[in-house]
Amino acid sequence: MPSLNYVAPTTVADAVKILAGASGPTRVMSGGTDLLVQLRTGRLKPELIIDTKKIPGIIGITQNADGGFTIGAATSGALLGEHTALGAAYPGVVEAANLIGSTQVQGRASLAGNLCNASPAADSVPAVIAAGGTVTIAGPNGTRTAAVESIVTGPGKTSLAKGEFITAFHLPPIKGRTGDAYLRFIPRTEMDIAVVGCGVSVTLDASGTITAAKISLGAVAPTQVLVDPACIIGSKLDDAALARLDAAAQAMCKPIDDKRGTIEFRTKVAGVLARRTAAIAVARAGGR
Amino acid sequence: MTFIGNKSDLRVVGTRPVRPDGVDKVTGRAVFGADAIMSGQITGKVLRSPHAHARIVSIDASKALKLAGVKAVITAADLPNIASEEAFVGEGPMNFRDLSLNCMARGKALYEGHAVAAVAAMTDAIADAALALIDVKYEVLPHVIDVEEAMAPGAPILHDDLFTAGETPKPTKPSNVAKKVRFTIGDVEAGFKAADVIIERRYTTAPVHQAYIEPHACVAAWAADGQCTVISSSQGHFMIRSYCAKLLGIEISNIRVVPAEIGGGFGGKTLVYLEPLALALSKKAGRPVKMVMTREDVFRATGPTSGAAIEMKVGATKDGKITAAQAVMKYQAGAFPGSPINPGLMCAFAMYDLANVDVLGYDVVSNRPKVAAYRAPGAPMASFAAESTIDDLALKLGMDPIELRMKNAAKQGSKTAYGVTHGVIGYEEVLQAAKAHPHWSAPLGKNQGRGFATGFWFNIGGESTGAVFVNEDGTVNVVSGSPDIGGSRASMVMMAAEVLGIDVEKCRAVIPDTSSVGFTNVTGGSRVTYATGMAVTQAAQAVVEDLKKRAAMIWDISPEAVEWKDGEAVPAGANAGGFDPLPLAAIAMKSAKTGGPIGSEVSVNAQGAGPGFGAHICDIEVDPETGHATILRYTAVQDVGRAIHPGYVEGQIQGGAAQGIGWALNEEYIYNKKGLMDNAGFLDYRIPVASDLPMIEAVMVEVPNTRHPFGVRGVGEVPIVPPMAAVGNAIRGAIGIRMEHLPMSPPRIRAAIDGAKMPKAAE
């Protein structure tokens, strides 16, 4: 008979030790809102689950001295939604995280779980990428930092090495007139998986011209993709810039036909969402 | 005694008391199928076919049987191989042999999810491990999913012994077309010649699941002496009893079925899947066996309603008189015959007074789960096609859609294509109420459209038993054989309280097991408030007559000199004597001295269920860049005969509209090339969530049914009939394009706007 063991270490070191020493299929659990569903359907059959939530600091949000944020890996969407300073600085990240699942799921669902589940359709990932997010990774050789866009390597696959897990997310301090936004398309209005997701962050100069931008699309390729921001940098997001952005976003799409959408539909909607998301980000940055 | 004429005299009917089962259901105390427990129960699980169509070469369960904790394994070889026999036990026709083969495949698996074996084991984990140890050798056969592909020459044949019924001469080659059926009135060719305008269109609809929240569940025990007990969640415990008896060869008196609360059925729980297997496993294991489906099982193995391909042609004169209507409808039956093609043909044009109608239908099998009844079975797809076509007709004629329908409205005396002449019906009243509603004339904004559509359901009566027993303290037990799905306990106690003249709180609704009340058909066809309500009303009336006799005995006067008023016996007049009124409780207290316990049980086979009509108005805004349709406002007008509990009637109307909107916008089965379902779960089988819908305004029109003491018409099914066309007509208004394929999902709307080829879901 198959068996499933559960451990909840109370230090990062213990967690790394157990993770690195595990011989069979092992999963690290934060909120568990994806993991438990996959256990139930039989898609995953791990022999060991390592619950990180008992590790001090893995749940919680800190605003650093420089104005940036450190978010514990297992911090729930509900906590993100309740953090006033985070919501003011990174509304796009918070709204993306808060789109995941239902109110009940929000009590558990975390950024680390959403990232490491490695679904191309994860809502929070394009938003955190656009915001310039990084992660701290603990492992047998100590800790390292990586950009969020370097983590997912394919559906269900990450760049984390054996024994590694994410302990925290970092969002940089807001510089000048910066705004971010996230939009997704779903056939319904909630409780759904993104057919296309788009996160955008922009920085404007005093005149309202875009000086920096990061644009990330979800659910249109095996991993989240970045759209070259050159198409809008130097513009005030006028109609011509929006048209360039639409085309650039569509050009980055390598989607599949599946139960959630066709290639043609996903590609077109990626362009639509890129335009709409960028417009919100610019407005939040105080432009237009 | 009839109450129709004087609504103002009613004390209870038409009010909104708290439902008798409400506290149990909101506090979690109610016992649903999966909550039921029998002492010593073990777990039963089903092994299902991973193939859409396959010959079962062999089944070897020896390894599973050796696993510690496994108590029994069954296959079709453990069930009686019964003969073909038509049955009318559930909702719609059923063949006992087909149902047996649907519960457990024999020789061939006909769809992905078809049961091929079942195990009983001490725990869920052991049962799962045992399923993995059963070695089934399959020879995979070519499959066919689509209805028209299944009809095409050379299509893989599901049943070698299925020959198209309704063809002359009788076919000699087997076919996936189980039946061909036609209803005709007048002469459509002449009708089309007389038309100035003709609209001709072709529609397709996807099969949709009832999506009840509670998966199928039961616990069953087969005792050593042959006495069988089943606790299950269904739309009819007598139906469960009948099917189990027939499928397993048990005498009916040896089966007792206890109804669990039911977490939704919508027609989908009018047949059996698990109960015969649980009994057969219990017989072999010597223990009660509990079985609970997963949601995935529900999608892969239980019946949705049919998808359909429909060609429709309607002609009219310039002034809007419809001269002819014609349709060819092809309905998917799933793996066994029995699609609701007949009601589809019946309901398509029943709203209209037409001289020339010709409707031809096909019942077609393919490698999908066998269809089950779903709320107004067959009518919604037919109505989608008909009411979309009528909308185009109105547009071409430059007529208001309600005016066009008024001009052709069915009324008392209108003859339908299927032979029935309408009695007292409320279609014109419904149209008038819709037209007068402020929604119809409210302004619309950019990218917005308004759709109007109507629908018909004939409603049924049938066999029901109701009983009223007076307790010694004057309270009353109201007993019936109908499982309560939509608030029928409330309706039953309200009708009894009305007749008895007492407060509804004095009446307790009870739904006992099959051995404790007379036979009652399934809760379906919108029949319960009508037929079971009639039985309960008649039982209460018999009790009142008895109470008057008891009072007469106490007063020592003639029973004719006693009247029953507001829950009390009173002397009929001054001549009867100067007695103080005798309340029900006072008579009940003395019942031992006046003849013993007071009560009455009445069984009826109710005829004369009044048909129902609905008219829906839907406002939609379409995002032209994403194809996303947002329902802005929705009004559903319906002739309800007379609402016993208006709150639950409104609930039925709102629920039907909500399900219809899901059917219209996003619900569909997505099959891959192997004939396997890709979206067997609520994540990707998209029923509407609360935030997808506005408050649905239910407008009740009351044209009482003269055949029921309170004027009841069935109300549960009509509201799912108009929504698909109402939504489609609203989308046509918003984007100027007629959507001919359901669901009208964002990719399809965006593609239509782009003028691109319609994308077909992953098939």
Partner A, chain B 676-715, Cβ-Cβ below 8 Å: 678-679, 683-684, 686, 688-689, 691-692
CA-based nearest residue to A220, from A128, A134, A125, A150: A125
| φ, ψ for residue A136, nearest 5 deg | -100, 130
In chain A, which residue's Cα lies nearest the Cα of B750? A265
Spatial distance between the Cα atoms of B497 and B392, rounded to a whole number of angstroms: 49
Say what the ipTM of the complex is. 0.95
DSSP helix/strand/coil, B563? strand
| φ, ψ for residue B180, nearest 5 deg | -125, 130
Which chain A positions have a beta carbon within 8 Å of B751's beta carbon? 264-265
Q: What is the DSSP letter of B252?
A: G
Burial of residue B603, with CB atoms counted within 10 A of its CB: 0-12 exposed, 13-18 middle, 19 or more buried: middle
Tell me how crowded residue B26 is: count the other CB atoms within 10 A of its CB.
9
Q: B676: which strand partners?
A: none
- What's the gap in Å between the CA of A273 and the closest CA on chain B? 9
Count of positions (residues) in chain B: 763
Whether chain B has a CB inside 8 Å of the CB on A105: the answer is no
Mean pLDDT in residue range A167-176:
96
**Residue B449: CB partners within 8 Å, gap ≥ 6?**
B619, B620, B622, B729, B730, B731, B732, B733, B734, B735
Given a contact cutoff of 8 angstroms between Cβ atoms, the answer to whether A274 and A245 are in contact is yes
**Residue B40: CB partners within 8 Å, gap ≥ 6?**
B287, B288
- Report the pLDDT value the prediction gives residue B90, as an integer from 0 to 100: 75
Half-sphere exposure (CA, 13 Å, Cβ side) for A2?
Answer: 17
DSSP helix/strand/coil, B755? coil
Mean pLDDT value across chain A = 96
Whether chain A has a CB inside 8 Å of the CB on B753: the answer is no
- What's the gap in Å between the CA of A149 and the closest CA on chain B? 26
Spatial distance between the Cα atoms of A224 and A159, rounded to a whole number of angstroms: 14
Find the CB nearest A259 among B678, B751, B754.
B678
B723-735 helix and B746-753 helix, angle to the nearest 10 degrees: 40
Tell me how crowded residue B294 is: count the other CB atoms within 10 A of its CB.
15
DSSP helix/strand/coil, B357? strand
- Report the pLDDT value the prediction gives residue B763, as an integer from 0 to 100: 40
- Report the pLDDT value the prediction gives residue B6, as an integer from 0 to 100: 73
Q: Which domains does chain B have, with CATH numbers?
A: 7-30+461-604 (3.30.365.10), 144-421 (3.30.365.10)
Which chain B positions have a beta carbon within 8 Å of A188's beta carbon? 666, 686, 688-689, 691-692
pLDDT at A105 over 50: yes
- Report the pLDDT value the prediction gives residue A258, as an integer from 0 to 100: 86
- Report the pLDDT value the prediction gives residue A40, as an integer from 0 to 100: 87
DSSP helix/strand/coil, B465? strand
Spatial distance between the Cα atoms of B571 and B552, rounded to a whole number of angstroms: 9
- Report the pLDDT value the prediction gives residue B379, as an integer from 0 to 100: 98
- Report the pLDDT value the prediction gives residue B1, as an integer from 0 to 100: 53
Given a contact cutoff of 8 angstroms between Cβ atoms, the answer to whether B262 and B269 are in contact is yes
Q: B616: which strand partners?
A: B453, B636
- Report the pLDDT value the prediction gives residue B101, as an integer from 0 to 100: 98
- Report the pLDDT value the prediction gives residue B575, as an integer from 0 to 100: 86
Which chain A positions have a beta carbon within 8 Å of B747's beta carbon? 261-262, 264-265
- Report the pLDDT value the prediction gives residue B27, as an integer from 0 to 100: 96
Instruction: Tell me whether residues B762 and A272 touch, CB distance under 8 A.
Output: no
Count of positions (residues) in chain A: 288
Whether chain A has a CB inside 8 Å of the CB on B658: the answer is no
Q: What is the DSSP letter of B352?
A: B
Given a contact cutoff of 8 angstroms between Cβ atoms, the answer to whether A73 and A52 are in contact is yes
- Report the pLDDT value the prediction gives residue B577, as an integer from 0 to 100: 86
Whether chain B has a CB inside 8 Å of the CB on A239: the answer is no
- Report the pLDDT value the prediction gives residue B2, as an integer from 0 to 100: 64
Residues of chain B with pLDDT under 50: 757, 761-763
Q: Which amino acid is at A123?
A: D
- Report the pLDDT value the prediction gives residue B567, as an integer from 0 to 100: 96
- Report the pLDDT value the prediction gives residue B406, as an integer from 0 to 100: 98
- Report the pLDDT value the prediction gives residue A1, as an integer from 0 to 100: 60
CA dist B758 → A264, B386, B423, B741, B754 (Å): 11, 22, 43, 9, 10
Q: How many helices and strands (H and E) does chain A possess?
A: 10, 14
Whether chain A has a CB inside 8 Å of the CB on B123: the answer is no
Q: B74: which strand partners?
A: B118
CB environment B723-739: b (16+ within 10 A), e (fewer): bbbbbbbbbbbbbeebb
Q: Which domains does chain A have, with CATH numbers?
A: 177-284 (3.30.390.50)
